[in-house]
Amino acid sequence: MSTIRDVAKYANVSVATVSRVLNKKGYVSKEAEEVVLKAIEDLDYRPNAVARTLYNKSSRMIALITPDITNPYFPELARAIEDVSLSYGYTVVLCNTDDDEEKEQQYVSVLKQKYVDGIILITNQQFNSDLEQMNVPIVALDRILSEKFPAVVSENENGAMMATEHLIDCGCKFIAHLRGPIGLTSAEDRLKGFQKVVQDKGVASIVVNTDFHFEKSIEVTTRLLEDHPTIDGIFSSNDITAAGAMKAINNLGKSVPNDIQIVGFDGIPLGKMLIPSLTTIEQSIYKMGALGARLLIKQIENIHLEANLYTVPTKLLIRGTTKVKGED
Amino acid sequence: MSTIRDVAKYANVSVATVSRVLNKKGYVSKEAEEVVLKAIEDLDYRPNAVARTLYNKSSRMIALITPDITNPYFPELARAIEDVSLSYGYTVVLCNTDDDEEKEQQYVSVLKQKYVDGIILITNQQFNSDLEQMNVPIVALDRILSEKFPAVVSENENGAMMATEHLIDCGCKFIAHLRGPIGLTSAEDRLKGFQKVVQDKGVASIVVNTDFHFEKSIEVTTRLLEDHPTIDGIFSSNDITAAGAMKAINNLGKSVPNDIQIVGFDGIPLGKMLIPSLTTIEQSIYKMGALGARLLIKQIENIHLEANLYTVPTKLLIRGTTKVKGED
DNA sequence: AAACTGTGTGTAACCGGTTACACCATAAAG
DNA sequence: CTTTATGGTGTAACCGGTTACACACAGTTT
């Protein structure tokens, strides 16, 4: 690989002039510019990104810290972030933490050493005291971490209300809510929305815990339905647990949506593959990721953010697990 | 942040000595080592990774170039790669190409400028002439690109044979194969395995094209079954298209596995969520990714690879879409 | 006593960019 | 005819590490 000094020598100018041409910064004469561009062309010169990073203290990389990319909710987020980043000339570093605080710390430390310009953070850890110490821009996604970091979240409460109202509209008299992990703001908000509506409309309800995983959901739902055979509607805090509920219902010999109707939450591709396909609250996952990335890049470029909390709308997607005529 | 020169000054030694302590390289006296370690501790010094990279021409980063992380097959791969990389002290850069050659080029160029140490490549492009020019270690995953790059693939043909034999064992008399994209070695190998068995056993068969996407699969399967109502078994080249086939069958008012039995390929989590859960050929996706990452790192560290092609076994996972008693 | 060998340490060049600063034109203003 | 503004360029320091090389000292060999 040729260096800027090779180019300078070839073009009979100084490295400063070459650098000025490269960065379109400072005074350069037409002739000098031409001869430099020709030299760059002839030598197939590409500036060394690492040397630039060292001086500028900016790597044009942003990190995506996520609990587990294997969770079907995250790839779409990652995709959006990657798309936006690329269009602004940033590269994305992938970090899986399993919500392990130590791993998170380790990553943050390594990332800082590499001069990453910003971090998109999805985590359940609350005590990010050392994160706050870091002077790197951070955007939280899907959950609110602290007032210090801008966050992008879905209209969880609103979505949950739509889901619950829809079940009631479809004739459900006893609705269960499979809630998500305790402490997760998104799950809490969905619970809140659910409770508001059932209380408001005076519909019988019950809430049980899940950890957002499929197997656990089967187990929980099975027990739930054995204990309460009159349940005729389930609002599940995510699509995976909704799939688990469907499996449990099927195992018990009941039918969806005839005996029990279900509404999920997320709008991941899985939903449409189930039989019947899943009525769900669709989050604009891609939009969330894209917005998060844009906000992060704005911060990196020192553009002031107007707000600290951004919400993206949710939408009721009526499909086959509720009895109003949907696409299924 | 303090630098190595700060540490040297604080410890009253030269930067060379500090560097020797850091890298455990060269002669350092016990006393010098102690005073340096104390200085590092006191100043909370962390070496600057970028400066190291500049000199060493190694960033301890590896890139994962994938068509689309949104495809449920890739996250698990990515996860495995990330886990192994982390354990060896490497960071993973995520690159989505959409199989777009230009994007691929752009990435490779940027990556090279950043001194990425190696690339894990999943692509359908064949003409990677400039990739061959690059002097960066590359490992191909899931598909064979050229003899120049070591590759990790599943036992596709063998898996396809197991799938087909299983359908025959379960009593199928007319088996369709939903093949994957033309030109994709893994899809070709699965087709080969299928054809071998149906020819060998003299079972009626038909092959149709899919592009590995859900909607397309519904469409193709619907037409297929309308044209050939006597089909009683389907071997699908991946789990997503198997899900599409199930949806199509359901739409046509037929039942799985009673009217038509299905075997998929991949073993992604989706399979167990379907009702009935999907009998499939399980690839050790995680193992593939982990092996790929290990091979890449070996190459980076100049350890000679014994082989150029590594295969990981596939396994028949009997569940609910075939009639032998499975877990469903 | 001279010649090695093995330890231990420091100086300064190097990796490949960016840029502060000095300097030299030339033209316009006073 | 000086002063000043503006365009254009080069030198060298700097970012923060690594390491070649020179050198110093002690203990062994001949």
pLDDT tens-place string over residues B268-285: 999 999 999 999 999 999
Q: Is A172 on the interface with B (CB under 8 A)?
A: no
Domain boundaries in chain B? 4-47, 56-154+286-312, 156-283
Pairing status of strand B151-154 against strand B138-141: parallel
Q: What is the pLDDT of residue B318?
A: 97
B64 to A114, B77, B90, B123, B297: CA distances (angstroms): 18, 10, 12, 11, 13
pLDDT in tens, A12-59: 999 999 999 999 999 999 999 999 999 999 999 999 999 999 999 999
Architecture of domain A156-283: 3-Layer(aba) Sandwich (3.40)
Q: For residues B278 and B20, give the distance between their C-alpha atoms in angstroms, rounded to a whole number.
A: 58
Domain A56-153+286-312: give its CATH code.
3.40.50.2300
Question: What's the confidence (pLDDT) of residue B326?
Answer: 42
Query: For the segment B92-150, what is each residue's pLDDT rounded down to a tens digit?
Result: 999 999 888 888 888 988 999 999 999 999 987 766 666 777 789 999 999 888 888 99
Least confident of A234-243, B125-134, B146-155: B125-134
* Radius of gyration of chain B, Cα coordinates, nearest whole angstrom: 26
Please give the distance of CA A87 from its chain centroid, rounded to a whole number: 18
Token pair 């060379």 is found at B16
Question: What element of type H or E holds A164?
Answer: helix A156-169
The per-residue pLDDT for B129 is 65
Mutate to test the interface with B, among A2, A55, A94, A266 (most CBs of B within 10 A): A94
Q: Which residue has the higher pLDDT, B39 or A106?
A: B39
- Residue A316: CA atoms inside 13 Å, Cβ hemisphere, count? 21
- Report the C-alpha gap between B143 and B145 in whole angstroms: 6
pLDDT (tens digit, 9 = 90+) per residue, A195-204?
999 999 999 9
Decide: A308 and A298 in contact? Cβ < 8 Å.
Answer: no
Distance from C-alpha of B48 to C-alpha of B111, rounded to nearest angstrom? 20
Rg (CA), chain A: 26
Query: Residue B284 has which token pair?
Result: 């050790």
Q: Tell me the two tokens of residue A123.
A: 């985590």
* Residue A53 contacts B, CB cutoff 8 Å: yes
Mean pLDDT of chain B, nearest integer: 93
3-state secondary structure of A124: coil
For the domain bounded by A4-47, which CATH number is listed?
1.10.260.40
- Chain B contact present for A307, CB below 8 A: no
Nucleotide nearest to A17 (CA to C1'): D9
Partners of residue B275 on adjacent β-strands: none
Select from A29, A283, A11, A294 the least CA-distant residue to A157.
Answer: A283
Residue A116 CA to residue B54 CA, distance in Å, equals 16
Fold matches, A4-47 and A156-283: no
- pLDDT score recorded for residue B271: 97
Contact A109 B46 (CB under 8 A): yes
Residue A83 burial class via C-beta count within 10 angstroms: exposed 0-12, middle 13-18, buried 19 and up: middle
- 3-state SS class at B140: strand
pLDDT in tens, B63-81: 999 999 998 889 999 999 9
Residue B127's pLDDT is 60
Residue A75 has what pLDDT? 93
Minimum CA–C1' distance nucleotide for B55: C15
Does A328 score more than 80 pLDDT? no
Q: What is the nearest CA distance from B69 to chain A, expressed in angstroms?
A: 6
- The pLDDT tens digits of the residues spanning B216-260 come to 999 999 999 999 999 999 999 999 999 999 999 999 999 999 999
Q: B328: pLDDT confidence band, cut at 50, 70 and 90?
A: very low
How many inter-chain contacts (A to B, CB under 8 Å) are there? Answer: 131
Half-sphere exposure of A3 (CA within 13 A, CB side): 8
Going edge to edge, which strands form the sheet with A233-236?
A204-209, A174-179, A233-236, A261-266, A280-283, A314-317
Q: Please say if the pLDDT value at position A133 is more than 80.
A: no
* One CATH from 3.40.190.80, 3.40.50.720, 3.40.50.2300, 3.30.465.10 for B56-154+286-312: 3.40.50.2300
pLDDT of A327: 43
Tokens for B173, please give them: 């008399």
